[in-house]
Each structure stands twice: as structure tokens, then as C-alpha cells.
Amino acid sequence: MKRTSTILVVDDDTSLAAALQDLLTRDGYSVEVAHSAMEALAIQEANPSLALALVDLILPGVDGLTLIEEMRRRNAEISIVIMTGYGTIETAVDAMKRGAEDYITKPFDFQAIRKKVGRLLEVLELRERVVQLETHLERHPCFENIVCVSPAMERVLERARLAANSGASILILGETGTGKEMLARAIHGASNRSRHPFMALNCGALPRELVESELFGFRRGAFTGAYADTPGIFASASGGSIFLDEIGEMPKDVQVKFLRVLQEGEVRPVGGSRSVQVDVRVVAATNRSLNELRGGLLREDFYFRIATVVLQLPPLRTRPEDVFVLAQHFARRLSRRYGREITLGRSGLEALVGYSFPGNVREFENLMESATAVSEDDPQVITDKDLRPLLQNDTPRGMTEGGGQPVSMEQMERVTIERALRLSEGNRTKAASMLGISRDTLYRKMRLYQV
């Protein structure tokens, strides 16, 4: 169930608390107010839908730092912002260590508070979107590891689901690190061949003279070192699927023999005199373009045989929407692996959204783990300071518009919302679903950006 946007304001200044309550209520939030730490904890216990708390540093009795530590202990998912008129760097660092996600000083800029609250709640909704994707096993149990919310990826996955049971050969195109083998395994798992083997071969990693023997097998004595009959990948995977990565590197003489296998359903091992019947489904992949494949790397008849269905995985730099959910997904995975709470801060998220990701999703996961492996903080908040030294580019690429100039996070959000509304033909419920946010958040964003 999606979290309702309920906010708790904790401040012993009754007039200020009332002003914040009025401001946030007008923005469509449900707001609770407490004037002490004990009141705040009682409200938290009675209100499981509590999403965000704005906590004053100076409170009667128990101070704000102690309160946020206790609130996070009771609910690790709650987002907390510390408020104070005594702003120092030391206090901010202490607040972050105890579980606060942000820090604001008095007197307040109410417009800045509105933006800050909206962004923090959006992150919470994105986290919930990740949970939904990770637990989406009943509908699509084989695609659960492919985390995305962007329309471009959703279209690819929908085509992959439809093609999975067709039996047609599939060619997956995509840059290095976009997840071609992961998609191939998902297709196999969703097909009626899932109970049979999935065999993978990287055509670019094998010496030319070994490609044929790896694919078709060999008989004893066929060449030096062939001491026993050995089945190739086709025979070993019979009934299942073969994944051929870097298909563009396959020698053309092997392509001819491969084509015969696809047409006749049989292979002849190297050095053998008899053919062996096989039943396999081929999923091939390459980081080359279609023009390169058809322009000389592949025989035309071979290309048409393996490319019955073509799936193009978009690079991560073209789908910044997925940076949000992938960041949360990797943070949750790393939290389980390292046994401590790991989250991505706003500055870290902005650094990643502005990065071009030449290594795509594989590089993204490596960046997150690199930032995690050199820290012992618990909880750990990954910031831009942790990530900047790991990025390959000195200058972030950012999301760009027609002129090629980087745009801000706010401009990126506006472009993303407009794209979702166009794809959904103005259906706001569908657009919110594409973006992985609630309709209320979409409406607020539309008002904010005058969409």
C-alpha cells in the first residue's frame, strides 16, 4: 500500500508550528503537530502512515537530536528534517549521523521548505516504488531484477514479455552494461523452456578456432587435445535457450554452420560423421549497431534468422527517471549485504542524475558499492563528495535540451512529467504510474512547474 503523505511538525513555538501546518495543509498534506518529544512519539506510535517529520532542535525536556534518534529507531523508513535557529556545521553533522536527512535554519524561507518537503516525499515514494518492483513476483516473476520506471524501458520489457513464449529468435542491442544478459535470462525464465538449461557464450572472448567446437562440440581425436567426445553448447542446452553475447564477433564461416543448425535443428560435432538433433531457442546480443551488423559483420541470411525480434535497450543516460529507482534499489541491496543502513542523499542523487554513465547500469552499481565499501558509517548517507572522485568525467554531462546545455534538476523533473503526460495521452493516473509517484505528487509538480 502506498504511503499517504502525512507530516509531523514538532516545535514548542506554537505560532510557528501553526504556520507550518497551514502552509503544508494548503499543499495537500495531512499535518500533525506536537510541541514536545513525548507528544511526537505518541503521534508516531498512533500514526503508522507518518512519512516525514520536521523536528525543532531545541525542545522542552528531550532535545531534537535525541528525538530523531528515537523516531528512526522506531521506524527506519521515516524521513526527518531538523529545524533550528542555532545552525552550525557540527550540529548538522550530528543530526545527519542520528538519522536526519536534511537541516534547515530559522527564520524560514517557506518556499524553500515547500520544495524541500516535496523532494523528500518524492524520494520516499520512489523507495516504495522499488519495493513494489522487488515484490512484483506474482505477475512477472522472471523480470524482478530489472528495475525501471522509465517509459522507454517499460516498452522494451513489454515486448520481451510478449516475445518470451513465442519461440522466435531474439536479438538484444545495447551498450556495454545495459543488462543484455539479464534481459536474456528473464526471457528464458518467462518462456516454456524455463525448466531446461540456459547456456551463455561470449563469442568475442573465444579464440576464432575454438568457436565452432564450443558451439557444436567435438569428437575424440578431432584436434590436438581432444581426448574425449565433448558435447557443445547446442547439445548441452537442448530443450532450453542459448545466449550468444557479442554475436557480431562470430566468424562468418561459423555463421554458415550456425545458420544450418537453426534451419534444420541438428548439429555435427567437429570431427564427427553424424548429426545430433537439438532443440534450442537462440537469444543473441551485441553492443554494435544494426547498421554495423547488416553492413558486413553478419551474413544477411544469418542476421534475418537470429533477429526475428529485435529489442533495443536504451542507455542509462537517456532515462534519468531510472536513476532514482536504481539508486534506491542498489542502496537497499547494499544495506542487506553490509548489514547497516545505507541511503543516497540529495546531493549524491543530483550528482548521479547529471552523470553520463558510460558504463551504464553496471557502472552505476559499481559506483554505489565503491562509495559503500570505504565507509563504516551506520547509517551511511552517500553524498556527492563520496561519488565525485569515482566519476569518469570531470564535468557532469547532465540532462540536456535542444541546445545541448545541461539543465537543472527542476527542469529535468518538468521534462520527465511532460514526457509521461504525452505518452499517457493526458491520463494523469497513468502518467503518475509511469513516473512511480502518486497522483497527488503529480498534481503538485504540475502546479509547481505550470505544466
Span 256-269, pLDDT tens digits: 888 888 888 888 88
421 — pLDDT class (breaks 50, 70, 90): confident
Which of 69-83, 340-354, 431-445 comes out lowest in average pLDDT? Answer: 431-445
Range of the domain at 18: 6-134
Structure confidence at residue 125 (pLDDT): 74
Q: Is the pLDDT of residue 46 over 60?
A: yes
- CB count, 10 Å around CB of 393? 11
119 and 254 fall within a common domain: no
| 53 and 121 both lie in a single domain | yes
Judge whether 443 and 434 are in contact, CB under 8 Å.
no
Across the range 164-191, mean pLDDT stands at 92
- Domain assignment present for 1: no
Statement: residue 249 has pLDDT above 80: yes
Q: What DSSP string describes 392-420?
A: S-SS----B-TT--B--HHHHHHHHHHHH
Cβ contact 160:312 at 8 Å: no
How much of the chain, in percent, has pLDDT values that exceed 70? 86
**Coil, helix or strand at residue 247:** helix
411: pLDDT strictly greater than 70? no
pTM of the prediction?
A: 0.63
Distance of CA 383 to the CA centre of its chain: 18
Residue 142 falls inside a structural domain: no
Q: Average pLDDT over the chain, rounded to whole?
A: 82
- Are 227 and 304 members of one domain? yes
pLDDT of residue 322: 85
156-176, pLDDT tens digit by residue? 999 999 999 888 999 999 999
Instruction: Summarize the confidence of residues 309-313 as an average pLDDT.
Output: 96
Q: How far is CA 17 from CA 34, 56, 110, in A?
A: 8, 10, 12
What distance in Å separates the CA atoms of residue 200 and residue 205, rounded to the nearest whole number?
A: 12
Does 143 map to a domain? no
Shared domain check, 163 and 121: no
Question: Each residue of 89-101: b (16+ CB within 10 Å) or e?
Answer: eebbeebbebbbb
Q: State the CB neighbour count (10 A cutoff) for residue 367.
A: 24
- Does 1 score more than 50 pLDDT? no
The segment with the largest mean pLDDT, out of 38-52, 223-237, 280-294, 410-424, is 280-294
The residue among 155, 95, 136, 90 whose CA lies nearest residue 313 is 155
- Domain shared by 159 and 307, yes or no: yes
Label the pairing between strands 170-173 and 309-312.
Answer: parallel
Q: Could you tell me the CATH number of the domain that includes residue 442?
A: 1.10.8.60
- Residue 146 reports pLDDT greater than 50: yes
Residue 399 pLDDT > 60: no
Residue 290, domain member (yes or no): yes
72-120: per-residue pLDDT in tens? 888 877 888 888 776 555 676 777 777 777 778 777 788 888 888 888 8
- Do 361 and 419 have their domain in common? yes
pLDDT at 131: 62
Q: CA-to-CA distance for 245 and 381, rounded, in angstroms?
A: 37
Q: Rounded CA gap, 244 and 227, in Å? A: 26
Burial class, 451, CB count within 10 angstroms (exposed 0-12 / middle 13-18 / buried 19+): middle
Report percent pLDDT > 90 for the chain. Answer: 26
* CATH at 21: 3.40.50.2300
Q: What number is the average pLDDT over the span 313-322?
A: 89
Instruction: Taking residues 390-394, report their average pLDDT.
Output: 71
* Torsion angles phi and psi, residue 344, rounded to 5: -110, 120
Which pLDDT does position 416 carry in this prediction? Answer: 66
The per-residue pLDDT for 97 is 75
Min mean pLDDT across 20-34, 90-104, 304-318 is at 90-104
Exposed (0-12), middle (13-18) or buried (19+): which is 372, by Cβ within 10 Å? buried
Instruction: Look at residues 289, 313, 337 and tell me which one is the last residue of a structural domain.
Output: 313
pLDDT score recorded for residue 111:
84
**Strand pairing of 217-218 and 230-231?**
antiparallel
Judged against a pLDDT cut of 50, whether residue 138 lies above it is answered with no
DSSP class per residue in 362-401: HHHHHHHHHHHHT---SSEEE-HHHHGGG-S-SS----B-
Is 341 found in the same domain as 428? yes
In a domain, 140, yes or no: no
Give a yes or no: residue 144 inside a domain. no
Of 134-138, 233-237, 333-337, 338-342, the range with the lowest mean pLDDT is 134-138
**Mean pLDDT confidence for 424-433:** 74
- 145 within some domain: no
**Is the per-residue pLDDT at 403 higher than 50?**
no
237, 169: one domain: yes
Residues 390 and 403: their CA atoms lie apart, in Å, by 28
What is the mean pLDDT of the segment spanning 386-398? 69
Among 258, 290, 313, the domain boundary falls at 313
Domain match, 202 and 104 both: no
Give the CATH number, domain containing residue 234.
3.40.50.300
Q: Out of 138-147, 228-237, 295-304, 365-374, which region has the weakest mean confidence (pLDDT)?
A: 138-147
Residue 373: is its pLDDT beyond 50? yes
Q: What pLDDT sits at residue 92?
A: 66
Q: Cell 558451439 sits at which residue?
A: 215
Q: What separation in angstroms does the CA of 46 have from each of 21, 41, 43, 82, 429? A: 19, 9, 5, 22, 30
Half-sphere exposure of 135 (CA within 13 A, CB side): 7
Q: Which domain-ending residue is among 104, 134, 164?
A: 134
Residue among 80, 266, 286, 95 nearest 202 (CA): 286
SS3 of residue 80 by DSSP: strand
Q: What value does the mean pLDDT take over residues 326-340?
A: 88
pLDDT tier at 243 (50, 70, 90 boundaries)? very high
Residue with cell 557532469: 396
pLDDT at 312: 96
Say if residues 24 and 54 touch (Cβ distance below 8 Å).
no
Res. 410 pLDDT band, cuts 50 70 90:
low
C-alpha cell at 37: 518529544
Overall number of domains in the chain? 3
C-alpha cell at 441: 505528487
Instruction: Single out the residue of 44, 37, 41, 36 nearest to residue 6, CA to CA.
Output: 44
Asked if residues 324 and 126 have their Cβ atoms less than 8 Å apart, the reply is yes
CB atoms closer than 10 angstroms to residue 348? 23
Question: Would 141 be classed as within a structural domain?
Answer: no
**Spatial CB neighbours of 257, under 8 Å, sequence gap ≥ 6:** 212, 215, 216
**Residue in the block written with cell 545541448:** 404
Reported confidence tier of residue 293, pLDDT bands at 50, 70, 90: very high
List Cα–Cα distances, 316 to 80, 177, 279, 406, in angstroms: 30, 9, 35, 16
pLDDT level of residue 240 (50, 70, 90 thresholds): very high
Q: Are residues 180 and 111 in the same domain?
A: no
**Quick one: CA dihedral 193, 196, 202, 207, positive or negative?**
negative
Residue 127 in this model has a pLDDT that exceeds 90: no
Residue 298, φ and ψ in degrees, nearest 5: -120, 145
Residues 239 and 259 in one domain: yes
Question: Are both 303 and 169 inside the same structural domain?
Answer: yes
